[in-house]
């Protein structure tokens, strides 16, 4: 349990909840650090096979806490020392990550949701690339992920117009995995995460690496990397179990190793 | 087929042969393989032994633990004075390393910094695990690299990049090292050793004298003017016509069959 987040494991699924509800879960330096800390905890814990990130109260995350921001602060330094390490820790995470977007996600809070592997949104959720509205540019990897999710044109639209995108519109443009009723967000997310937690976790981690690799490698480099990844996957117990189950015509029981 | 050396010979490394590959494994994982002076001596001694061993065609350098080699042993040298350093002449071991004629292939993970990075720059082919950190932090201790790091980095990158890294002492990762041509491949750590060994195994099948004279010429090409280097290359090219492998290689080509090289 952190000062600004809570952390709990339920049936192989770790829940990391941003917990400053009275401030719409806006980021502080402590929160950036605690997110990193719990990402490491969840990464190391062999019992954890999926991670959910959500927000307490009515917002997912409102981005940087502007109230506590020093007017003379050097923003580039804040990015380098607080947000970049958090984002890189998240991209290094080798298990599936789901953002359970329970309400407004704005600014760097939107970026955090974008960097997760899946986004399950409550119908009350909204997405806002708020940076332009205070004269800034999207940060915390925002445009890197956004362009890949919705394409350049839509990414420009969202980033320049700075308009709030409600959950259903977000679903229509491919920004979220699915939209569920607000009351069912937690159970739906837990069920989805448990499904992922039954899957071959190592292979999921390798798929995440391959997707990233495909962004910056030539086809030849990518294909070589693919061979490495398949070598590693081919050595897992889950691969053996998968083949055995297939031949025995039964459901496989993956252990995540 | 593995053959372990007499481990009493070495305190800080393990050597073994696997097929035609002579392996040297840095074995001080508890201190991230910090390069004590006697450890460098052992590495070079092992390389020289493999050099003399006809059954070894390629030398592979690897390291146990989470770092390849994290610098020198600072405690060992902090109270040294220049006269003492001149007398013990520790870096002459690195000169001997530069004289090894067989290919040296390295598998690098974790950290290769300071002396560890100099060791990497002394190898011919380098495979590194993703995220491996390279760098010369010597400046942060009020010194600079002393075993060829400054020189080799400059030769490899040109002065601007080299100065930036040498002056700031900042680390850069394998992906960056790859972009700058300092290393040959970046790969997941889980397959680092076998891929490196597979590459070494492939090299070991190549005609040995060719590999040797190519290395000799490439090393010269780095230092000599183009004209001189080309004269040097020519002599080595002619020299290879004295080998059985040249006869076999060309005959096999003409006869449209696979050559069978003997290494002489």
Residues A178, A111 share a domain: yes
A214 three-state secondary structure: helix
Please give the Cα distance from A49 to A42 (Å, whole number): 8
Average confidence (pLDDT) over A146-168 = 97
* Structural domain contains residue A168: yes
* Structural domain contains residue A189: yes
- B75 neighbors B141 (Cβ within 8 angstroms): no
Does A231 contact chain B (CB < 8 Å)?
Answer: yes
Residues 204-223 of A with CB under 8 A from B: 209
At residue A202, the pLDDT reads: 97
Does B198 contact chain A (CB < 8 Å)?
Answer: no
Residues A148, A181 share a domain: yes
- Mind listing the pLDDT tens digit for each residue in A7-17? 999 999 999 99
Please, what sign has the CA dihedral across residues A209, A210, A215, A220?
A: positive
Please give the Cα distance from B158 to B169 (Å, whole number): 17
Residues A159, A229 share a domain: no
Residues A232, A137 share a domain: no
pLDDT at B78 over 80: yes
b vs e for A34-67, b when ≥16 Cβ sit within 10 Å of the residue's Cβ? bbbebbeebbeeeebbbbbbbbbbebbbbbbbee
Average confidence (pLDDT) over A150-175 = 97
Residues A68, A167 share a domain: yes
Task: Say whether A232 and B195 touch across the interface (CB within 8 A).
Answer: no
Domain CATH for A113: 3.90.226.10
- Mind listing the pLDDT tens digit for each residue in B163-211? 999 999 999 999 999 999 999 999 999 999 999 999 999 999 999 999 9
Residues A190, A213 share a domain: no
pLDDT at B7 over 70: no
pLDDT at B2 over 80: no
Per-residue pLDDT band for A69 (boundaries 50, 70, 90) equals confident
Residues A211, A108 share a domain: no
* Structural domain contains residue A254: no
Residues A52, A102 share a domain: yes
Any idea what the Cα angle at residue A196 is, between residues A190 and A202, rounded to 5°?
140
Per-residue pLDDT band for B74 (boundaries 50, 70, 90) equals confident
Size of the A and B interface in Cβ pairs below 8 Å: 15
> How big is chain A, counted in residues?
257
Min distance A228 CA to chain B CA atoms (Å)? 7
Please give the Cα distance from B127 to B199 (Å, whole number): 10
Chain B residues with beta carbon closer than 8 angstroms to that of A232: 188, 190-191
pLDDT at A220 over 90: yes
Containing structural domain, residue A243: 201-247
Residues A170, A226 share a domain: no
Domain CATH for A214: 1.10.12
* Structural domain contains residue A234: yes
* Structural domain contains residue A144: yes
Per the structure, the count of domains in chain A is 2
Please give the positions of B annotated as active site: 72, 115, 118, 138
* Structural domain contains residue A255: no
Please give the Cα distance from A21 to A4 (Å, whole number): 10
Residues A132, A76 share a domain: yes
* Structural domain contains residue A252: no
Average confidence (pLDDT) over A31-58 = 97
Residues A58, A176 share a domain: yes
Residues A238, A152 share a domain: no
Q: Which two tokens stand for residue A97?
A: 């990550």
Please, what sign has the CA dihedral across residues B57, B59, B60, B63?
A: positive
Domains of chain B as residue ranges with CATH: 2-204 (3.90.226.10), 208-254 (1.10.12)
For chain A, the average pLDDT equals 96
pLDDT at A1 over 90: no
């Amino acid at each position: 349990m952190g000062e600004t987040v809570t952390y709990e494991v339920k049936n192989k699924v770790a829940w990391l909840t941003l917990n400053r509800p009275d401030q719409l879960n806006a980021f502080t330096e402590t929160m950036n650090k605690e997110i990193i800390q719990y990402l490491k905890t969840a990464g190391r814990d062999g019992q954890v096979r999926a991670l959910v990130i959500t927000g307490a109260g009515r917002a997912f995350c409102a981005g940087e806490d502007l109230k506590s921001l020093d007017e003379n602060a050097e923003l580039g330094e804040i990015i380098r020392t607080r947000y970049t390490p958090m984002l890189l820790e998240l991209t290094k995470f080798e298990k599936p990550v789901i953002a359970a977007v329970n309400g407004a996600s704005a600014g760097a809070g939107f970026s955090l949701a974008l960097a997760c592997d899946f986004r399950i949104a409550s119908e009350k959720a909204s997405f806002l690339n708020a940076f332009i509205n205070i004269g800034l540019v999207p940060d915390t990897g925002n445009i890197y992920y956004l362009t890949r999710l919705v394409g350049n044109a839509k990414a420009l639209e969202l980033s320049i117009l700075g308009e709030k995108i409600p959950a259903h519109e977000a679903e229509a443009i491919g920004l979220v995995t699915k939209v569920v009723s607000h009351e069912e967000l937690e159970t739906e997310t837990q069920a989805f995460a448990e499904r992922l937690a039954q899957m071959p976790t190592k292979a999921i981690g390798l798929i995440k690496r391959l997707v990233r690799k495909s962004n910056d490698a030539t086809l030849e480099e990518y294909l070589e990397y693919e061979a490495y990844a398949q070598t590693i996957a081919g050595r897992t117990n889950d691969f053996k179990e998968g083949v055995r189950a297939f031949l025995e015509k039964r459901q496989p029981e993956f252990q995540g190793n | 087929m593995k053959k372990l050396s007499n481990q009493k010979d070495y305190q800080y490394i393990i050597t073994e042969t696997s097929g035609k590959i002579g392996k040297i494994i840095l074995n001080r994982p508890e201190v991230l393989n910090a390069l004590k002076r006697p450890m460098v001596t052992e590495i070079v001694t092992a390389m020289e032994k493999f050099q003399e061993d006809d059954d070894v065609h390629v030398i592979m350098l690897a390291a146990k633990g989470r770092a390849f080699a994290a610098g020198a042993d600072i405690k060992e040298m902090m109270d040294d004075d220049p006269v003492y350093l001149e007398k013990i002449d520790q870096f002459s071991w690195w000169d001997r390393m530069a004289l090894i004629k067989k290919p040296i292939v390295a598998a690098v993970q974790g950290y290769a910094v300071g002396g560890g990075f100099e060791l990497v720059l002394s190898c011919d082919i380098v495979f590194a695990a993703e995220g491996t950190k390279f760098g010369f932090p010597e400046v942060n201790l009020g010194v600079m690299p002393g075993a060829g790091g400054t020189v080799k980095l400059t030769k490899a990158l040109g002065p601007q990049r080299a100065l930036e890294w040498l002056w700031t002492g900042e680390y850069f990762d394998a992906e960056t090292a790859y972009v700058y041509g300092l290393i040959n491949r970046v790969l997941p750590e889980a397959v680092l050793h076998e891929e490196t060994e597979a590459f070494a195994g492939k090299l070991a099948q190549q005609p040995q004298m060719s590999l040797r004279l190519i290395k000799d010429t490439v090393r010269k090409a780095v230092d000599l003017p183009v004209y001189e280097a080309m004269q040097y290359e020519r002599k080595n090219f002619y020299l290879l016509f004295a080998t059985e492998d040249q006869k076999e290689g060309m005959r096999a080509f003409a006869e449209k069959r696979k050559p069978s090289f003997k290494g002489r």
